[in-house]
Amino acid sequence: MNQQYYNRSWLDGCFDFMHFGHANAILQSRMTANDVNFSMFPYTPEDKNVSFTKLDEYTFFDAESLKEHFDFVAYGMPRSGIWVGLHSDEEIAKNKGSLPVMNLLERCYHVSNIRWVTSHGVVKNVPYVTELEHGVNDALCEYVLHGDDLVCDADGKDCYDNVRKENRFLIVKRTEGVSTTEIIQRILLENYKNRDNLSEYNELLQNKVELKLLEKLCLDENAEKVYCSVFDESFDNIVIKGEYFDYSEENTIYYNNPDRSFDMMNAGDIEVLSKIKEKYQKKIIVALNITNAICVNNIRERLFSLVSCSLVDGVIINPSSTLRHNFIEITIDDEFKNRVFQYLTPETIKERIINSKEIYEARNKKKLNI
């Protein structure tokens, strides 16, 4: 019998203001991992009873204590997949000069609900300069991946130098046209207020390059087949058809809350979807309404973030007011009260940035060379 190995890979970072560029990096990491050979951590199926760690959706492994949960990590979780490490708020402030917009719990929760991240495979408080002995090896991850942009700590050290020396570093292409820095800059300059949602929506549907990226972001958890379906105005008009296309009144919830724009999609948005999934145990089709609402994110960014979420099974863009369907429809969030992230809204996020305007202006000036 041939020796099997753990086919696990690792990403780490700030993942602040989680956007589809981050999601695409995770997706590309999953696709890259599908094409490499693993030979470092032998895998032997365990028949004995082991003590598994119980984690809820708000609890995450800590880099300092991950090795204490070896049995669960080794035998209670999938043999293959992507693990993600997140830096603490303090480490980010030390190395970037300012606290992240989103705190550690908000960032961990969001990342944990990206489709290509291993369930419970999120580790908090990882070092800013990646150390294989602090998280990576404990998670039995052979490779570490990152985008093709150089990342350095406060002292100018390459954050992945330790990994490169061990020949365990793989590079994925950075997603152009979206970054946390650029989104913060929009808020600082308020240059998003003249956005034409309808024009952007029509342009998106005509752009073959963008539609190709959309289809890619609809891939299943193994990054092999298209999973998430996308509709335009009606359920008869299919933009992206998932391989698992099976929506019926028995197995599908239609979430159509006109007050939830999914602008700067965050833990608050995701938690609502999680509560719906938990209560109804059904697929969720989300309505992405094209309204006159002033959004920081354009329609492309909002859509791409939605389809990357593991809780989303389908999205209908700009649903018609005369849309006909037989699904259970949820239009308000009143039945999902006392949520942990209920406070988190686009307005809250903008306030955080404006309240620290001078700090973010200084940081952006340096990063954007302005």
Predicted pLDDT at 318: 94
pLDDT tens digits, residue range 223-280? 999 999 999 999 999 999 998 888 888 999 999 999 999 999 999 999 999 999 999 9
pLDDT tens digits, residue range 288-308? 998 778 999 999 999 999 999
pLDDT tens digits, residue range 174-230? 888 788 889 999 999 999 988 888 899 999 999 999 999 999 999 999 999 999 999
Rounded Cα–Cα distance for residues 232 and 188 (Å) = 33
Predicted pLDDT at 337: 87
CATH, domain range 194-350: 3.40.50
Exposed, middle or buried, 189 (CB in 10 Å: 0-12/13-18/19+)?
exposed
Predicted pLDDT at 47: 59
Global pTM value? 0.95
Predicted pLDDT at 49: 62
Beta strands in 194-268 (DSSP E): 229-232, 234-240, 252-255
Instruction: Assign 370 a pLDDT band (cuts: 50, 70, 90).
Output: low
Rounded Cα–Cα distance for residues 50 and 74 (Å) = 10
**pLDDT at 83 > cutoff 80:** yes
**Mean pLDDT over each residue of the chain, to the nearest integer:** 93
Q: Tell me the backbone φ, ψ of residue 266, rounded to 5 degrees.
A: -145, -175
Predicted pLDDT at 282: 96
**pLDDT at 347 > cutoff 60:** yes
**pLDDT at 51 > cutoff 70:** no
Structure tokens at 291: 């309204």
Predicted pLDDT at 46: 72
Determine which of 110-124, 146-160, 163-177 has the lowest per-residue pLDDT on average. 146-160
**pLDDT at 57 > cutoff 70:** yes
**pLDDT at 42 > cutoff 90:** yes
CATH 3.40.50.620 intervals, the chain:
4-176
What homologous superfamily does CATH list for 4-176?
A: HUPs (3.40.50.620)
Instruction: Assign 367 a pLDDT band (cuts: 50, 70, 90).
Output: confident
pLDDT tens digits, residue range 125-147? 999 999 999 999 999 999 999 98
DSSP 224: S
Predicted pLDDT at 196: 87
Higher-pLDDT residue of 277, 360:
277
196 CB neighbour count, 10 Å cutoff: 12
Predicted pLDDT at 53: 65
pLDDT tens digits, residue range 63-79? 999 999 998 999 989 99
Instruction: Assign 3 a pLDDT band (cuts: 50, 70, 90).
Output: confident
Determine which of 11-15, 91-95, 152-156, 250-254 has the lowest per-residue pLDDT on average. 152-156
Structure tokens at 26: 């995770």
Find residue 71's DSSP bridge partners.
Answer: none
Query: How much is the CA Rg of the chain, to the nearest whole Å?
Result: 21
- Beta strand 80-86 with 117-124 is parallel
303 CB neighbour count, 10 Å cutoff: 25
Going by C-alpha positions, the residue among 205, 214, 193, 197 that lies closest to residue 237 is 205
pLDDT tens digits, residue range 305-328? 999 999 999 999 999 989 989 999
